[in-house]
Chains A and B, each alone.
Chain A
């Protein structure tokens, strides 16, 4: 395996491309449960309250576009995409059946920040701590499992022969709108 810090820098573009693709998937209402072959749960993603895009200007400089706030429109994001930007961070609302999660994911590290899971109930006694911890671990794991499955789907598409003639064309048509 490549040196960790080298591989981190070299392939961070894959994380940013994944988030850009995920935005396309959300905005074009592609069925995520079907996409990841999950027949038992209804999984819905929505964009949350922030998105950060980055546009490489070619001379080692980059242009960063941050859109924040619950009521902020994403038109600026769409404009940035048209100029060649990619998503580097995105706040997402993920619903698994009745359970709602909200978090921000960073493309280059796949780190998750500000993760809000469904309430694990109030803890009033030390005896309840183990149950609450196990539930929280399960909820956090659920988020990563779905993100990982989506990432695998993206990478499989990205390395496929069809990528340039199929998925990329669809994304470019969406960006153009």
Chain B
């Protein structure tokens, strides 16, 4: 907070003390928000992007437009990312506004852009390099051998030591955030996810259903045929019965 106070003071020159406290607090919040997010909301707008696609399984009962907005807003708010509360927790997953990846406040930042819902999935994960685990485990094993005056440790003892080392390190290292943007065309029931990483796609599918009670169907050759209105049922059956051919003789 000292840093921000200092910067705020710099921005307002020496007049900051003359500003009403509630206004000053608002300015500090805006400043923090701006600094937390400035320059980071590129993703979709970067020069090169990777995309996997989904169709959103339609619900049987169609929602009214007003309630759609509420459903999406609530889903995002209820499943917004929270900080890793437990020091030993490995992963935290949740939504955050596109314009504000590190301040998941859907009251302050919009998720509606034209006809699309645009927001981000953030995955904070603690990643301990294998070599660090290896080093600390070796040090602990050596220590245990010396203390017990033994030449060997059993496999179980070594595993226990490794688990303790991982738990200890988990409490010490910060998590690394990864941010993946989502463009959801609600009308067309189409969703672009701006990554092709398998693990991120699986997390998206899980949290999307949890948030909006709608299932995502990945679009790949089979599902493209199954979901495209350009095919009749008999054409879909023919496609489903195809098998590989050789293009060479």
The residues of A with any CB-CB pair to B shorter than 8 Å are 1-2, 4, 7-8, 10-15, 17-18, 20, 81-84, 86, 106-117, 120, 123, 126, 129-130, 132-134, 136-137, 140-141, 144, 148, 151-152, 155-156, 158-159, 168, 171-172, 175-176
Contact = CB atoms under 8 A, between A and B. Distances in A.
Contacts of A1: 223, 226
Nearest to B235: A159
Contacts of B224: 110, 148, 151
Interface range on chain B (Cβ under 8 Å from partner): 35 or more
Give chain B's interface secondary structure class: mixed
Contacts, number: 137
A133 B45 contact: yes
Contact of B99 (A126, A141, A159): A126
A7 B50 contact: no
A115 B113 CA distance: 22
Interface stretch (B80-88, B206-214, B239-247): B239-247
Contacts of A108: 220-221
Contact of A15 (B50, B183, B220): B220
A133 B118 contact: yes
A-B complex: 7 closest residue pairs judged by Cβ atoms: A11-B222, A159-B238, A7-B222, A113-B50, A14-B221, A15-B221, A111-B196
Contacts of A148: 224, 228
A83 B248 CA distance: 7
Contacts of A141: 192
Given A137-B183, A148-B224, 4 more contacts: A130-B113, A134-B113, A144-B51, A159-B242
B219 A110 contact: yes
Contact of B50 (A86, A111, A123, A171): A111
B47 A176 contact: no
B23 interface: no
Given A17-B245, A20-B247, A133-B45, A110 B220 contact: yes
A129 B99 CA distance: 9
Contacts of A106: 196
A108 B244 CA distance: 13
Contact of A114 (B50, B113, B217, B221): B50
A109 B99 contact: no
Given A109-B196, A110-B53, A134 B114 contact: yes
Contacts of B116: 133-134, 137
A7 B240 CA distance: 9
B52 interface: yes
B248 A136 contact: no
A14 B225 CA distance: 10
Contacts of B98: 133
Most buried by A among B44, B183, B245: B245
Contacts of A15: 220-221
A89 B183 CA distance: 25
A171 B247 contact: yes
22 contacts: A4-B217, A4-B218, A11-B222, A17-B244, A17-B245, A18-B221, A84-B247, A110-B219, A111-B52, A111-B196, A112-B50, A113-B51, A113-B196, A115-B48, A117-B49, A133-B113, A133-B116, A133-B118, A137-B183, A148-B224, A152-B228, A152-B231
Contacts of B218: 4, 8, 109
A116 B48 CA distance: 5
Contacts of A175: 247-249
B31 interface: no
B222 A114 contact: no
Contacts of A8: 218, 220, 222
Interface in B22-42: 41
A83 B222 CA distance: 26
